[in-house]
C-alpha cells in the first residue's frame, strides 16, 4: 500500500520545480483537472478537481485529486486528462493522456463527515508511470494557518479555476479562470460551519474548483500595512451556491454537474459556498491508516 499511495519519483510540486518554469497563475492552471462521469444510463456529467499533495514527515507526500462527493456520486465510469511532460518545452505541455476508471465512485475516499462535500483520489500509481505526467500539485502548506487567518480582512481577492458549463481549452487541456472577492469573512465560520462565501460567478461544472487567495505583486493585511510580494493561499473548495426562483424564493443547491432541463426556473446569485481548505486535513488520518 505504501508504494500505491506514496509519491516516489514525481516531484513537480508548486514551489519546488514548477516555480522555476511557470508563473503562479500557470501553476494553478496546471493544478486543475476536468472530471467526466457517466452513470448507469451512460449520461455524461462534468465537474472540476485539482491536484493536491499531503505531506507526511519530511520526505513523503501523497498526491491526490480533490473534488466534491456529489461530482462522483452515482458515477459508474469516470475519466480525466493529465498532461504529458514535453521535455523540449516543459512550460507548454499540450499533449495529454486520458485515464478511464470503472466503478468510479468507489475509487474515491469520502470525507468522514457526512455534511462535508469532499472526496479524494490517490494517484501515485499514475504519477509513477513511465509516461512522465505533468501536473502542478497544490501543496499542503498553502492551507492557511491560524496565524495566516489573523491577517485576513473581510474582503479579499480570490480566483477560481475550473470548468463552468463543461467549458475548457480542449487543445491545451486547460481550465477557465474566474475572479472575485470573498463575500463573507474568510476567517469566520459562515452560519457556524467551516465555510465562507465568495462573490464570483459559479456555474454547472464548477463543483470542486479550488478557490485561492490571490495577491500577486502587493497586498495589505487587516492592520493596514502594505507588503510587496505574493500572498497565495488555498482558501477552500466550491461546492454549492444560493439561487432564487423566478418567484423570488431563495434556495441553496449544490453546484450541478450537468445542464439539464428543470421544471422550476432558478437564477444563480453569483455567489458560492466554499468548504474551508482545512477540512482536507481530515483525510490525513484516513490515509495514514491505509499506509499502515
The confidence band for 252, taking pLDDT boundaries of 50, 70 and 90, is low
> Which whole number is the average pLDDT over 134-163?
94
Report the DSSP beta bridge partners of residue 110.
119
The confidence band for 243, taking pLDDT boundaries of 50, 70 and 90, is low
- 91-114: per-residue pLDDT in tens? 565 788 899 999 999 999 999 999
- 188-204: per-residue pLDDT in tens? 999 999 999 999 988 87
Distance CA 290, CA 4 (A): 10
Distance CA 241, CA 19 (A): 33
CB-based contact 208:256 (threshold 8 Å)? no
> Which whole number is the average pLDDT over 143-166?
94
> Which whole number is the average pLDDT over 81-100?
75
Query: In the predicted model, is pLDDT for residue 16 greater than 60?
Result: no
pLDDT the model gives residue 246? 54
> Which whole number is the average pLDDT over 108-121?
97
CB-based contact 189:195 (threshold 8 Å)? yes
Query: In the predicted model, is pLDDT for residue 260 greater than 60?
Result: no
pLDDT the model gives residue 87? 58
CA dihedral 127, 12, 156, 237 (to 10 degrees): 10
> Which whole number is the average pLDDT over 12-36?
72
CA dihedral 111, 114, 115, 116 (to 10 degrees): 0
pLDDT the model gives residue 190? 96
pLDDT the model gives residue 265? 52
Q: Count other C-beta atoms under 10 Å from residue 249's C-beta.
A: 10
The confidence band for 13, taking pLDDT boundaries of 50, 70 and 90, is very low
- 174-193: per-residue pLDDT in tens? 999 999 999 999 999 999 99
Distance CA 27, CA 234 (A): 13
Q: Among all chains, which residue has been given the C-alpha cell 437564477?
A: 267
Which three cell numbers, joined as nine digits, stand for 121? 483520489
The confidence band for 86, taking pLDDT boundaries of 50, 70 and 90, is low
- 54-68: per-residue pLDDT in tens? 999 888 899 999 999
The confidence band for 253, taking pLDDT boundaries of 50, 70 and 90, is low
Amino acid at each position: 500500500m505504501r508504494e500505491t499511495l506514496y509519491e516516489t519519483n514525481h516531484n513537480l510540486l508548486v514551489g519546488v520545480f514548477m516555480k522555476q518554469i511557470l508563473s503562479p497563475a500557470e501553476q494553478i492552471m496546471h493544478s486543475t483537472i476536468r472530471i467526466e462521469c457517466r452513470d448507469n444510463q451512460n449520461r455524461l456529467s462534468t465537474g472540476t478537481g485539482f491536484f493536491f499533495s499531503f505531506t507526511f514527515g519530511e520526505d513523503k507526500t501523497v498526491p491526490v485529486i480533490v473534488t466534491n462527493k456529489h461530482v462522483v456520486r452515482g458515477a459508474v465510469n469516470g475519466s480525466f486528462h493529465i498532461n504529458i511532460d514535453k521535455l523540449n518545452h516543459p512550460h507548454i505541455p499540450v499533449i495529454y493522456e486520458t485515464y478511464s476508471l470503472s466503478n468510479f465512485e468507489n475509487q474515491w475516499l469520502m470525507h468522514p463527515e457526512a455534511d462535508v462535500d469532499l472526496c479524494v483520489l490517490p494517484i501515485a500509481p499514475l504519477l509513477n508511470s513511465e509516461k512522465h505526467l505533468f501536473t502542478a500539485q497544490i501543496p499542503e502548506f498553502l492551507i492557511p494557518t491560524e496565524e495566516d487567518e489573523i491577517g485576513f480582512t473581510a474582503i479579499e481577492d480570490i480566483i477560481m479555476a475550473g470548468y463552468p458549463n463543461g467549458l475548457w481549452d480542449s487543445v491545451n487541456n486547460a481550465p477557465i479562470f474566474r475572479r472575485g472577492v470573498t463575500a463573507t469573512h474568510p476567517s469566520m465560520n459562515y452560519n457556524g460551519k467551516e465555510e465562507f462565501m465568495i462573490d464570483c460567478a459559479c456555474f454547472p461544472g464548477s463543483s470542486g474548483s479550488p478557490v485561492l487567495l490571490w495577491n500577486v505583486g502587493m497586498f495589505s493585511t487587516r492592520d493596514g500595512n502594505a507588503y510587496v510580494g505574493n500572498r497565495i493561499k488555498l482558501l477552500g473548495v466550491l461546492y454549492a451556491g444560493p439561487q432564487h426562483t423566478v418567484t423570488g424564493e431563495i434556495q441553496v443547491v449544490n453546484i450541478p454537474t450537468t445542464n439539464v432541463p428543470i421544471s422550476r426556473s432558478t437564477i444563480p446569485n453569483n455567489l458560492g459556498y466554499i468548504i474551508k481548505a482545512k477540512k482536507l486535513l481530515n483525510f490525513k488520518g484516513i490515509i495514514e491508516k491505509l499506509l499502515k
